Structure 1
């Protein structure tokens, strides 16, 4: 790549200096869910330069979402998918196709069929099951990303190895470290997504806070 020909004023200048996304940034990526995982993941992909993002979520922004998700007070009451699409267009002129709708077995084929890749970040059994069944039927690549109700464990699993988890008690968004944990999972998911699009290899991942190697210091400050 001729770096001298790059536009330093491009919002994707740093990404354009490298070639890994060349030829894959125009793939249609459908994001199911726009919460702590889906919202942050969609924002990251858009800022990396992915040009064809589709976002499906029926929920509206609430005050309690602001500490974990990429929304603002001024967007409270706005559909999450529409709010994120608008903010990412203002940020980097990303064109996100927003669907303010609940994904169900009845409409899943219509919503997912043209996808090059489906990412499931739904927080409910019914939504995840609809995504899993539909992507298997259509033979679409699908990565399921989620974390446990206690906010301590997260994973990214590809079809057809994915098993839809049963509903459990607890809301991971009530965990104090939800946002940093979600951002770690977002980073791992982006790596898996790019690896798949470039090499057609699906890699699963798991993460817990215990995986971090934290070195303790006895120094007093």
Structure 2
């Protein structure tokens, strides 16, 4: 990857924040998309600090990684939904799906498949007992429910 490449990271929680940390040496332009806010309970499992408490996760992570490693990061403090998915994922050379719900995962899969954009789908169960990473052009997201790699309807 080169500095003119754009990586879109959707989800800046437990998985997404650590993916960004692992990818900090990639010479790329990062875009982080997340609507959620940093809560006290997030500090144990996510790359967020007390300074970010109450702030949007994408913006808090942007400030943190820029200060620590000088990363070029754009923060999008919005939920990825039907109305903005095409725009937010446009121009991505790689999409990293680190969301915690099945509908958003399905939306990402549909948009990247239509654009033939490479995408890595990652998921971790809310209790940390299950993880999965998929790199597959015919990836089909889990349906929401028992055993799905999502924390919908539960604590996260």
Structure 1: 5+ residue runs without aligned partners?
1-23, 176-221
> 1:74-93 maps to which residues of 2 (within 5 A)?
74-93=51-70
Which of the pair is proportionally richer in helix?
1
Deviations 1:109-158 (A, max 9, x none): 10001000001010011110110110011111111011234422222112
* Corresponding residue of 2:10: 32
Q: Which runs of 5+ in 2 are unaligned?
A: none
Higher RCO by CA contacts (8 Å cutoff, separation 6 or greater): 2
Contact 1:37 1:146 in 2 (8 A): yes
- Contact 1:108–1:134, Cα closer than 8 Å, also in 2: yes
Equivalent position SS for 1:66: helix
Aligned residue among 117, 130, 136 for 2:94: 117
Whether the aligned pair in 2 keeps the contact of 1:132 and 1:159 (CA below 8 Å) is no
- Segments ≥4 residues shifted beyond 3 Å: 169-175
Please say which structure displays the higher CA radius of gyration.
Answer: 1
1:41 has 2:19 as partner:
yes
TM-score (norm 1): 0.63
* 1:155 is the counterpart of 2:155: no
Q: Is the 8 A contact 1:105 1:134 kept in 2?
A: no
